[in-house]
Amino acid sequence: MKLLPLIIRNAFRNRRRTILTILSIGMSLFLISTLKTLLESLASPPMTPESAKRVVTRHQTSLANVMPIAYRERIRSVPGVEEVVANQWFGGVYKDPSFFFAQFAVDAEKFFDVYGEAKVQSPEQKEAFVKERTAALAGVKLAERFGWKVGDRVTLEGTIFPFNVETIIRGLVDGGGSEATYYFHYDYFNELFNNPNIVGTFAVKAKSSDDLPAISEAIDQMFQNSTAPTKTETESAFILGFASMWGDVQTLVLSISTIVLFTIVLVAANTMAMSIRERTGEIAILKTLGFAPGTVLSMMVIESLVIAATGGLAGSLGARFLFGSVDMQMMSGGFIQAFTVTWTTVAMSFGIAFIVAIASTAVPAWNASRVPIAEAIRRRGE
């Protein structure tokens, strides 16, 4: 396109206006990219090959109800099950309630068999954790945040449970979400609680992900008529259950995005209209020189696209960069595991810019082209 230099020159004719428009569109697309990424991270928890083989068993009525720990052996006997661990949410306070992070009492020995993606720093750490009743594993990000080292004593004050838990960190873990979590022994927890032998959830690992539906059925059938009937679902369904507690957030976010979108088009349209109105005379000259009306129109659309696309890419790439360098997991206390602005989102921003370009240029360009050449040239002084 030989005309590209002319188009770009035209775009930056009024530098201040163009830059402000780019900034305005940039901020709006930054917002849309962020909201879209937020929706994505709530709607699809990160899946690893390991997590695809796991189901979570809890009391059928509510997560707040408990099951007997004895269920563990019976679940293990279900065909297709490779391993089961008890997983008890502790929900304690470390120094201050605002330092919130996830804490679980787990079956130490088999923990890594079920959560294969969690990696300790050395086999010695793993052994030390399994051997000692009061041992604990801390996520590497937690250790960084609180300045913990292996060998440190950590006390968690009980809120849900009427006792405090005193542990010694024997290892640091990373991977699959464990980097922001604190783990200690289920047996120790049970003892401190005076041996009620109950647990909130079981994490079950299947030999193959194909067996998940069958295993879930089998487990729930097994305990159907007992004092604590169960509900077993895939790990991602379980996590999604929490997201659904937020209610109509999705609708809210979508409505806001729509409004923002509409505002962008408005802003871009305003700018283009001003720009084109100033140039009615020049458009007339171009037509006199022999440029077809179609060419003149596409020049204006491309000019608008250059501005909108620059803004759009700046906004979405800016979002990608910003959230790439900030640790969202730590900032949200573990609620949000991954917050990456995908290339799809960036591409979407480009797409929006394209639509904005066309929508905003249409009317002013149409108006400008309808003015007869002679009158347009006379109007040059405007």
Beta carbon nearer to other proteins, 118 or 198: 198
Name the residue among 8, 204, 13 with its Cα closest to residue 113. Answer: 204
73 binds other proteins (CB under 8 A): no
158 interacts with other proteins by CB under 8 A: yes
Distance of alpha carbon 52 from alpha carbon 74, whole angstroms: 22
Residue number, 150 or 254, with CB nearest to other proteins: 254
> Of the candidates 5, 49, 151, 381, which one interacts with other proteins according to CB under 8 A?
381
> What's CA 249's distance to the chain center, in Å?
14
CB of 150 to other proteins, least distance (A): 29
Could you give the angle at which helices 249-278 and 15-43 cross, rounded to 10 degrees? 160
Alpha-carbon dihedral 307, 308, 314, 315, rounded to 10 degrees = 150
Nearest approach in angstroms of CB 134 to other proteins is 21
CA distance 213 to 233: 8
DSSP, res 93: B
Tell me, residue by residue from 327 to 356, as one string, x for binding to other proteins by CB under 8 A and - for no binding. --------x---------------------
Based on C-alpha coordinates, what's the Rg of the chain? 30
| Binding to other proteins in span 229-288, by CB under 8 A | 229, 241, 243-249, 252, 256, 259-260, 262-263, 266-267, 269-271, 273-274
Site for other proteins (CB under 8 A): how many residues?
50
Instruction: Using the minimum distance from each CB to other proteins, give the nearer residue, 245 or 289.
Output: 245
Report which residue type is found at 327.
Answer: D
CB nearer to other proteins: pick between 26 and 171: 26
Backbone dihedral region for residue 194 (phi beyond 0: left; psi -120 to 50: alpha; all else: beta) = left
Structure tokens at 295: 């060419």
Binding site residues, other proteins, CB under 8 A: 16-17, 20-21, 23-25, 27-28, 30-31, 34-35, 38, 61-65, 157-160, 162, 227, 229, 241, 243-249, 252, 256, 259-260, 262-263, 266-267, 269-271, 273-274, 335, 381-382
